[in-house]
Each structure stands twice: as C-alpha cells, then as structure tokens.
Structure 1
Amino acid sequence: MQIADQKVVSIHYTLRDKAGNVLDSSEGNQPLAFIQGRGNIIPGLESAMDGKAVGDKFDAVIPAAEAYGERIEELVQVLPRSMFSGIDDIMVGMQFQATGGTGPVVITVTDIDGDQITVDGNHELAGVELHFAVEVVDVRDASAEELAHGHVHGAGGHHHHDDEEEDGEHCCGGGCH
C-alpha cells in the first residue's frame, strides 16, 4: 500500500540540521505514526512521503519555509519582569504559553537583563533547514474514529484516557504529537 491522504503512516526517522547534528530521532522508540494529509507533521516532510511504501528508505531536505517557517524577528520582545507576576525565579530557557493573534504561542526566555526579560515566540527550529533520514515501517487505512479525531490512536499516536469524552472533544487538550 502506498502513502496517500487519509492513510496512517508509521516511520522511523532521524532529524539532523545542516551541519549534521542530530536534533531528534525515533531510534530506540516506537515509530512516529500520523495521518497523511492532515497536517500532523511538517508540510515538507508530508509532501516527501507521498507515494512511498513500506520498506522505503529515503533522505529528505526540508527548507525552513516548509518546516517550522522562517524566523520572524518581531516575535522577539523585551518585556518587563512585572509581566511575569507570580514567577519568582525566571531563567533563560524557561518556556511559557501566551496568547497570540492566532491562538496559543509558546515563548522562550532567551535573555535576562535586570528587570528586562527577552522572549522569543519563534519555534526553536524556525529558520532551520531540516535533513531527515526516513524509513517507512507501516501504511494502513485510518479508522473512522482516527479520521474523526484527526490523529492516530494507539502505538506511536495519541492515547485517549478514560476521562476523555467519547467524541474526542478533550483528546487534544494537552497537545498531541
């Protein structure tokens, strides 16, 4: 079976930057499972998956624009410490969720200068060309439930908990893969 929209795909992968540094890998873990065509993975990698089949191994170079986007310097801001009320010990690298114009945004503290806190709303891989080594390990039809929820259930995908509603209303409240 070939990879096409609405198919569940499971892959093993190693992600490197342009210099060859490993940024992420499924090695030693369950394969990553996603529904093709649903935007569960970055657009450039999803495009590279089209037409592949179980057993295919390939390399894909994904430009930043087709991955996590280019860096947007306007997303780097200097805020007064008072904006972080209730947080006594702010450190570089801490991440917070803020509300942006398009919804929730993760911001990262990148510098502290007295009462001035510099935060960056760019994804940590924004502006980075990504190099993937991929092995397709499974391709199958998505279940009606997976299609309704928009993500894979079970191994390598999302796991529903007993306190989640049947219709999946709360299934992504904490974030999915």
Structure 2
Amino acid sequence: MTDTVRPDSLVTLHYRFLLEDGTAVVSTFEATPATLQLGTGEVLPALERCLAGLRVGERRVFTLPPEEAFGPHRPELVERVARADFPPEVTDAMTLLEFAAPDGSRYAGLVRELTEEYGVVDFNHPLAGKTVRLEVHIIGIS
C-alpha cells in the first residue's frame, strides 16, 4: 500500500462531475466509492493527471475544459435516422439507445428529436463540449 497516487496506482475514491452551473452529473459520494486502475487506458488521461500525486484522505476540485474532459461537441456525430429503424418502445426524445456497428461493436446515442419520419441521434458523449468540474476524495491507494 502506498500513500501517493502514481501513474499505475489502483485508486479507491469518491468522485463527482459537475457542470459549470454546479449541477451534479454523476457522483459516487452518496454511494459506494469507485476503484480505478490507472495506466490502463480505462480512465480519462486528464483524470489520471489530476489524481497524480494526491494522498490518501486528500480532497480536491479540478476544472476541466472540454478538450481535456470529454472532448468538443462534434456536429458530424449528430445523425438523422429513419424512424422505422428505432425500436417501437422509443416514443420520446432524450432517450438513450444502444446501436450496433457493422463490425459488431456497440455504441450509445441520445435521441435529441423524434418525429414520425425520423429521429435526430447525437453520438457525442453527453458531456462533450462542456467544461466540467471534478471533485475527488482519495480513500485508498495500492
């Protein structure tokens, strides 16, 4: 066990992503802490940089611009899809759907608009294009 986060650490922490207006988007503070393995590509590089050097018990707040967080919003990832290609249970906009790519991989898209003829699906990460605040509390490091 170590007391400082390194690039290959296994870190147990609470975290919260907030929008600039303070709205919490996701948080573990009211639930079970998360355990993240750094250095494997599973964690945002900016998050790994923020955690580096922190100690057990430390609490910090970081502001991440879109290019360091979830990337810019890319208009080319917003597509019009024929309504017939939607599952029948999708009746409202703001529904998150999973789609299959030709290679068999799966990806999510948020239905932004839905008419009888088509739906507008945004395949950007929901936080793309947004500056986010990241709050962390380091609980354990190994």
Deviation at 1:100, TM superposition (A): 7.3
Deviation at 1:138, TM superposition (A): 0.3
User: Which residue number corresponds to residue 94 of structure 2?
Assistant: 93
Choose from 15, 18, 21 the match for 1:19.
21
SS of residue matched to 2:101: strand
Question: Any idea what the Cα deviations from partners look like across 1:66-112, whole Å, max 9, x if unmatched?
Answer: 2211111011111212323xx223231221223278x5321121111
One-letter amino acid of the counterpart of residue 33, structure 2 = P
Question: Any idea what the Cα deviations from partners look like across 1:111-169, whole Å, max 9, x if unmatched?
Answer: 112211111111111111110121111001xxxxxxxxxxxxxxxxxxxxxxxxxxxxx
Distance 2:75 2:127 in 1: 14
RMSD: 1.7
User: Which residue number corresponds to residue 45 of structure 1?
Assistant: 47
| 7-16 or 87-96, which deviates more | 87-96
**TM-score computed with the length of structure 1 as normaliser:** 0.71
User: How many residues get paired?
Assistant: 137
**Where in structure 2 are the equivalents of 1:97-176 lying within 5 Å?**
97-99=99-101, 103-140=105-142
Distance 1:29 1:129 in 2: 24
Question: Any idea what the Cα deviations from partners look like across 1:9-58, whole Å, max 9, x if unmatched?
Answer: 01112221111111121122111111112222222111111111101111
Gaps of 5+ in 2: none
One-letter amino acid of the counterpart of residue 11, structure 1 = L
* 8 A contact 1:14–1:22 mirrored in 2: yes
**Where in structure 2 are the equivalents of 1:48-87 lying within 5 Å?**
48-84=50-86, 87=87
One-letter amino acid of the counterpart of residue 101, structure 2 = T
Distance 2:108 2:131 in 1: 21
Distance 2:40 2:50 in 1: 14
Gaps of 5+ in 1: 141-177
Identity fraction in percent? 24
- Higher RCO structure (Cα 8 Å, ≥6 apart): 2
Distance 1:133 1:9 in 2: 15
**TM-score computed with the length of structure 2 as normaliser:** 0.87
Tell me, yes or no, if structure 1 residue 4 matches structure 2 residue 6.
yes
Distance 1:68 1:51 in 2: 23
Q: Which one has the bigger strand percentage? A: 2
